[in-house]
Structure 1
């Protein structure tokens, strides 16, 4: 069986990232390939740097200015224990790879037939460790099929400097096929890389509601609350007021399934633990309504056909929302989605099949 690697951002810190990785691995496996998701992690920090940072935190605490915990690394292990367990149980992962040289060695040892970059904001420099890796610089001279599936810049503005633009433009022209998640990404590729690319669906949209219910499991579906489900990445007083007003108007309880606070803000260590992604998904499956400022929060509201209010998250990239709405035949007026409940019908299966067929045709390795 032909071997395919998927290169995506580090997993475990956000639900959308984990589930798009799971979905893409599922789809490529169903197409008949042996799939491994590459565990590309940020480079390890030197002991000298860690020691200096520790002293710095101690000094800040002594001055009453320190916000981050002194031993924040140990807190991260606690915070991500459920998500890391989900990943190890439900995805086939490579060993952790921290450098370009480790990536080269891994690919040389395994001998993959193809590599897929995607999805999520893999082409946004501020989010991906060593952005050139996500343009497959470590395979520049290797004979291997190179594909980008639903890769995203996250925003509609260009965030690369001239040097990085030139380097990535050279690398991207070595790909066999490129597709992006947003229509704005099509325009960015044309303007800055001088290439035409395809526009496809996020991997999470390639699977059915029943696929996710199977992942969640009946016990979780039976045990979760029903009412107004909220998933808020960036809390604010305005969002809190909107949620409270909506709950009062509809006489429904409000519930969520996410860490109660960030690592930096925690007092009780248990408040920083991220629940299992299957519990997070069950919240959407059982909800009457959803209120969210998350792209994948909107995606799963649509998958589970839940009426939702989307609070557009400008700082994290609004083009992702507008492109999704237009693709699915919804209004692209973001202000409307910020203030008006949107009722959702099932996604047109032809849109899903179109993206799957494109991936299947371009990935064809004569299995």
Structure 2
């Protein structure tokens, strides 16, 4: 049995990151390969070091560096709590190698894979990490990518040459967004678009994998799952819940989001995460994976796009499933409530795309 090692952004305190890593590992294993996630966590992102790294990028910290200490102290407790909870989730749900802070002496594998998530985008320090481009793999070992994402598509010229050099060393590349396919093709790098790994499994398969329960009381609350600080979205979620006459629940990782409105649910296990999505009357989100799980679980939702330049993946998925009508144009757009949301066509499309994406995954691993 060939051994596949996957490098991805699995160790961030973020549900989408851990869920896509679980899905990738299980999809590869389901095709008859041994598979683990490389437990690679940069020193500047390890535990609460990531808090300092992120804080240094804050505009007010750059203007007045002593503010970094205040930022660190204000967020340290909630950050430690979130990091510890996600570490327990990873140990529970995710087969991994030993911990690596650098990959100068990487673990051995037959095939190395860049996994999904925004692995080919700038990190917390606004720099690229070329390990996610498999630059650490030496010799003739096979190098592939499944559903890799750039996040932001604007790439500085100084980084582009190095990036293209890395891509040319891959045996096969598949990506998550149609914009990424266009970008790579424009630079003479062959690629194929595939589903995000979380969409390789149906809602029922996720319920089975995570032992989640589909409750009978579905529809008694509106769930807001918000990644970006955005007063427009917080206000929209509150008004949306008021319009449908249901309480608003906010599922979040960081404690300070409690002030953003709604009954606060702090960092539940991923089994409960799935159940909250499954049993909501509506989901209001700016998150790609919030959108993906809403579609997969057939939970009515509305997406208000973040103003961060990272909306390509949301739009690509909604175009694929023909659900772009569920994008709110602005904070006063409640047109989603004017008609029933029908997931029939989206389900049919996803089933066809699952087959194609699994075939593509098998191809890149086997050829």
TM-score of the alignment, normalized to the shorter chain, above 0.5: yes
Distance 1:223 1:187, change over 3 A: same
Per-residue deviation, residues 142-169 of structure 1 (Å, max 9, x unmatched):
22111111111113x322x333211221
Quick one: which of 97, 100, 108 aligns to 1:97?
100
Per-residue deviation, residues 202-249 of structure 1 (Å, max 9, x unmatched):
000001111211234356857998421110122444323322222222
Correspondence 1:305 to 2:309: no
Cα RMSD (Å) of the superposition?
Answer: 3.4
Partner of residue 154, structure 1: 151
Quick one: which of 168, 172, 187 aligns to 1:173?
168
Task: After TM superposition, give the deviation of residue 361 of structure 1 in Å.
Answer: 1.5
Task: After TM superposition, give the deviation of residue 129 of structure 1 in Å.
Answer: 7.3
3-state DSSP class of the match of 2:357? helix
Find the aligned partners of 2:219 and 2:210 in 1 and give their Cα distance. 14
Partner of residue 13, structure 1: 13
Instruction: Report if the CA contact (8 A) 2:218-2:281 is conserved.
Output: no
Instruction: Report if the CA contact (8 A) 2:294-2:301 is conserved.
Output: yes
Structure 1 unaligned runs (5+)?
Answer: none
3-state DSSP class of the match of 1:29? helix
Instruction: Report if the CA contact (8 A) 2:144-2:172 is conserved.
Output: yes
Instruction: Report if the CA contact (8 A) 1:79-1:272 is conserved.
Output: no
Find the aligned partners of 1:332 and 1:239 in 2 and give their Cα distance. 17
Distance 1:188 1:117, change over 3 A: same
Distance 1:333 1:226, change over 3 A: closer
Correspondence 1:189 to 2:184: yes
Quick one: which of 222, 235, 246 aligns to 1:241?
235
Partner of residue 261, structure 1: 255
Partner of residue 205, structure 1: 199
TM-score norm. by structure 2 comes to 0.82
Instruction: Report if the CA contact (8 A) 1:228-1:291 is conserved.
Output: yes
Distance 1:329 1:33, change over 3 A: same
Partner of residue 3, structure 2: 3
Partner of residue 138, structure 1: 136
Per-residue deviation, residues 175-224 of structure 1 (Å, max 9, x unmatched):
11101111110111123x32121011100000111121123435685799
Quick one: which of 72, 79, 85 aligns to 1:76?
79
Distance 1:255 1:189, change over 3 A: same
Find the aligned partners of 2:78 and 2:233 in 1 and give their Cα distance. 28
Partner of residue 326, structure 1: 319
Greater shift in the superposed pair: 315-324 or 234-243: 234-243
Task: After TM superposition, give the deviation of residue 307 of structure 1 in Å.
Answer: 1.1
Distance 1:183 1:45, change over 3 A: closer
Q: How many residues align?
A: 341
Instruction: Report if the CA contact (8 A) 1:119-1:149 is conserved.
Output: yes
Task: After TM superposition, give the deviation of residue 317 of structure 1 in Å.
Answer: 0.5
3-state DSSP class of the match of 2:243? helix
Partner of residue 120, structure 1: 117
3-state DSSP class of the match of 1:214? helix
3-state DSSP class of the match of 2:324? coil
TM-score norm. by structure 1 comes to 0.82
Instruction: Report if the CA contact (8 A) 1:230-1:291 is conserved.
Output: yes
Partner of residue 281, structure 1: 274
Instruction: Report if the CA contact (8 A) 1:117-1:147 is conserved.
Output: yes
Partner of residue 228, structure 1: 222
Find the aligned partners of 1:313 and 1:304 in 2 and give their Cα distance. 22
Instruction: Report if the CA contact (8 A) 2:212-2:275 is conserved.
Output: no
Task: After TM superposition, give the deviation of residue 126 of structure 1 in Å.
Answer: 2.9
Task: After TM superposition, give the deviation of residue 322 of structure 1 in Å.
Answer: 1.3
3-state DSSP class of the match of 2:106? helix
